[in-house]
Amino acid sequence: MVELYLPKTEDLWFREKLLGDLSTMSYNHAWGGTIPFPSEKWADWYDKWLLNHENKRFYRYIIKKETFLGEVAYRFDEERQCYIADVIVYAPYRGCGYGGQALALLCQAAKENGVRELYDDIAIDNPAVALFLRYGFSEIHRTSEYIWLKKRL
């Protein structure tokens, strides 16, 4: 069973590794692939996402026995006026059921924080669509590029 962990600033090396890993970020090819997250950005990012989140952002690591497996998050999208979910499992740990457990924990945390619905737009060719559907999300829109999913909490 996985748990959610509130990372410390010095733990953000894992986020840098996660976002910079080609295999892990292969799902993100439609939006540019890997994402740079150099250490000089950590303090500002940490302040915005974990200290002064204004109930518009939530972020945690996925852990099992103190091993970092990935991340979960949600954020309020001002343009769409909804909360967008995010689950990333580090490539070496995929296929072990951690993504589903993490998504369930993220939904539980969002509900406890007063979020009533979570959404995600997932690239049309991303296998995570099946995961989200298995965990209670429903497809509400589809384009040639992405699938828009929603779950009432």
Estimate the share of the chain in helix, then strand, then coil, as percent rounded to the nearest 5: 40, 30, 30
- The confidence score (pLDDT) of residue 126 equals 83
- The confidence score (pLDDT) of residue 31 equals 59
Using alpha carbons, select from 142, 59, 130 the residue that is nearest to residue 94. Answer: 130
Tokens representing 39 are 């250490």
Query: What is the C-alpha separation between 19 and 135, in angstroms, rounded?
Result: 24
- The confidence score (pLDDT) of residue 125 equals 82
- The confidence score (pLDDT) of residue 30 equals 60
Domain boundaries, the chain: 3-119
Which residues are CB-neighbours of 74 under 8 A, at least 6 positions away? 57, 58, 83, 84, 85, 86, 106, 110, 115, 118
DSSP helix/strand/coil, 99: helix
- The confidence score (pLDDT) of residue 28 equals 65
Kindly give the confidence (pLDDT) of every residue in the chain, 153 residues in length, as a single tens digit, with 9 standing for 90 and above: 999 999 999 999 999 999 998 888 887 666 567 888 999 999 999 999 999 999 999 999 999 999 999 999 999 999 999 999 999 999 999 999 999 999 999 999 999 999 999 999 988 888 889 999 999 999 999 998 889 999 999
Query: What is the C-alpha separation between 122 and 84, in angstroms, rounded?
Result: 11
- The confidence score (pLDDT) of residue 32 equals 64
Which pTM does this prediction carry?
0.92
Superfamily of domain 3-119: Gcn5-related N-acetyltransferase (GNAT) (3.40.630.30)
